[in-house]
Structure 1
């Protein structure tokens, strides 16, 4: 499963739940390093990682991991990160695994929803022969320096979760890795408790079929269907954004009622106002368009989930009166605020031709 060619913008797509980043930050913090400092200039803070809807890009993740590797000091940081993972760390797909009948079914389920589970690799599972099944893993992007980290993390987390579900005696039959034998190779044998082959054609974890058919005590077929429906809905509504766009919008969400200037936002990202404006133009967007989108999202949420008077919603989203807010909302969505309160469906994103058309004026 070779690394596929990708569009240059793919590394900047904010489409990954930050499960791995959370574990890396906790790991490094356990040695006294500042999570806030590790995140500085990346477009998010440790607090943002608590938001279930927050997403990061491969670019942001790889930059943070490189910083963490420098501070951690132990080259086996990928193994240490994977060993911290639990089935709950995978989010809804992890909970769905617990409802499956067997370990093999659980991992088929996880593979199906691997992006929602925060996977930073491309993973496949299948039957190798009558005695073995195999999990094959490839990095999403060509990054030889970080390949060992990503492969270690995904294989170790898989084994860690397997041991939690079927018992600590779980062990693979063989581990095959594409990269050369590292200086800390003994850590692989110690953790996986099986033969390890380096410089192999593919990254593969091979296990006995007996484990594939091993029943799970938490099996619940009815709950599995319910969770799967929720995950399907989640994936259908997600629209990946560029990580710069997502970082700016994340900054704006914290101050919807009093939007900071472009220069101030740029400073948090270690970018000048001019550079930030240029990069947004290259992405065919603008600061005002992002401000409008954040205000629109906040307005939708307040209209659907609260009984606040319209004038209060206007103030909370940066407008000085309900009249201007009503006009802006009409431009953004083609609908009036009261229609939303009456249950009418509204688009999650402002159509491009409407974006930037509304200004929060007095």
Structure 2
């Protein structure tokens, strides 16, 4: 089965953030069967579930559920791999974020980024998908904290978003969040997001360099082409996440979304030890767990968001996935 992975550059940033919080990552890596020495190998990648377990153990070891916010202190473009340098050489942050979205999979396959203009400004929206384990809240908070700190480092200004949206309930101690983001916070949000003022993202970057931007685009494009060649599994998951709220997607619709024939899609998935039906079921299972953590969504709404036309089918599938009912699962959460 094709696993989602995280680049050694991003994993190194996570480790630096955790070690700032007093966590002995070397011993946690040993405990998890991860290779600590591989952090210094630019081409190494770590299984996403391994990184999720690392976050979980780090929270236990430190007693600090907000430890992901330490990523705001790791201000270096290398954490974003070659993508960081591509962002640096962009004309402005708007163009830089467009590059970040385009090349995101180089950094970590589990994250889905989108960037869009809104009536209030520009919004960078983040979704983190687990592999076999649901993603850690700290992982998403680390990504937002680091992205904002990177903007401040690049511009030399204290960029303050209009709003930071965070999924999940507000923590008892808000101070770490207020110190890092320095702007209004919205908890129990539908997604993780940073909402920026247009003027902050349209302003020229001091590090802008068109020739370097083109060079980094080529490096990033080459890396992504090599990396993506056998990763249609990830692309199918992304397409399913987009299409499910419109009803159960047929394989033909997903193939069209990926500009492939059905036969080619089926063959590539088989080559990766996967099947369309398994991915559809697995993606629904993963999203169901995430949606039930959002108190503002009713079970009926979750059923439709997962593409089930009949809620009873959702309930049957949920019992098969988790050996309990959605209501009981939510109560445990």
Q: Secondary structure at the match of 2:43?
A: coil
Q: Which of 73, 83, 92 lines up with 1:83 in the alignment?
A: 73
Mapped partners of 1:26, 1:203: distance in 2: 23
Residues 177 and 204 in structure 1, CA contact (< 8 A), matched pair in contact too: yes
TM-score (norm. length: structure 1): 0.59
Q: Secondary structure at the match of 1:217?
A: coil
Q: Go from structure 1 to structure 2 and tell me whether the alpha carbon gap of 1:195 and 1:225 turns closer, same or farther (over 3 Å shift).
A: same
Q: Go from structure 1 to structure 2 and tell me whether the alpha carbon gap of 1:127 and 1:28 turns closer, same or farther (over 3 Å shift).
A: closer
Mapped partners of 1:95, 1:150: distance in 2: 22
Q: Deviations over 1:262-296 (max 9, x none)?
A: xxxxxxxxxxxxxxxxxxxxx98xxxxxxxxxxxx
Structure 1 residues without counterparts, runs of 5 or longer: 1-8, 242-282, 285-362
Query: Matched residue pairs, number?
Result: 232
Q: Secondary structure at the match of 2:7?
A: coil
State whether structure 2 residue 83 is matched by structure 1 residue 93: yes
Q: Go from structure 1 to structure 2 and tell me whether the alpha carbon gap of 1:102 and 1:33 turns closer, same or farther (over 3 Å shift).
A: closer
Deviates more, 1:206-215 or 1:40-49: 40-49
TM-aligned CA deviation for residue 29 of structure 1: 3.6
Q: Deviations over 1:119-144 (max 9, x none)?
A: 64211111012x41101111213899
Q: Which residue of 2 aligns with 1:318?
A: none
Mapped partners of 2:21, 2:89: distance in 1: 36
Residues 120 and 150 in structure 1, CA contact (< 8 A), matched pair in contact too: no
Superposition map of 1:100-179 within 5 A: 100-118=90-108, 120-129=110-119, 131-141=120-130, 146-179=135-168
State whether structure 2 residue 58 is matched by structure 1 residue 68: yes
Q: Secondary structure at the match of 1:169?
A: coil
State whether structure 2 residue 218 is matched by structure 1 residue 232: no
Mapped partners of 2:162, 2:100: distance in 1: 21
TM-aligned CA deviation for residue 167 of structure 1: 2.3
Q: Secondary structure at the match of 2:125?
A: strand
Q: Go from structure 1 to structure 2 and tell me whether the alpha carbon gap of 1:186 and 1:37 turns closer, same or farther (over 3 Å shift).
A: same
State whether structure 2 residue 44 is matched by structure 1 residue 54: yes
TM-score (norm. length: structure 2): 0.63
Mapped partners of 1:123, 1:236: distance in 2: 19
Larger radius of gyration: 1
Superposition map of 1:1-362 within 5 A: 9=1, 12-13=3-4, 15-30=5-20, 33-118=23-108, 120-129=110-119, 131-141=120-130, 146-238=135-227
Mapped partners of 1:120, 1:189: distance in 2: 27
Q: Go from structure 1 to structure 2 and tell me whether the alpha carbon gap of 1:163 and 1:31 turns closer, same or farther (over 3 Å shift).
A: closer
Q: Go from structure 1 to structure 2 and tell me whether the alpha carbon gap of 1:119 and 1:183 turns closer, same or farther (over 3 Å shift).
A: farther
Q: Deviations over 1:58-95 (max 9, x none)?
A: 11111112122222222211101343242222111101
Mapped partners of 1:119, 1:100: distance in 2: 23
Mapped partners of 1:32, 1:170: distance in 2: 28
Q: Secondary structure at the match of 2:194?
A: strand
Calculate the aligned-residue CA RMSD, in Å: 2.5
Mapped partners of 1:143, 1:73: distance in 2: 25
Structure 2 residues without counterparts, runs of 5 or longer: 232-271, 274-333
Q: Go from structure 1 to structure 2 and tell me whether the alpha carbon gap of 1:240 and 1:29 turns closer, same or farther (over 3 Å shift).
A: farther
Q: Secondary structure at the match of 1:138?
A: strand
Mapped partners of 1:37, 1:240: distance in 2: 33
Mapped partners of 1:119, 1:184: distance in 2: 31
Residues 172 and 206 in structure 1, CA contact (< 8 A), matched pair in contact too: yes
Mapped partners of 2:213, 2:69: distance in 1: 30
Mapped partners of 1:140, 1:146: distance in 2: 6
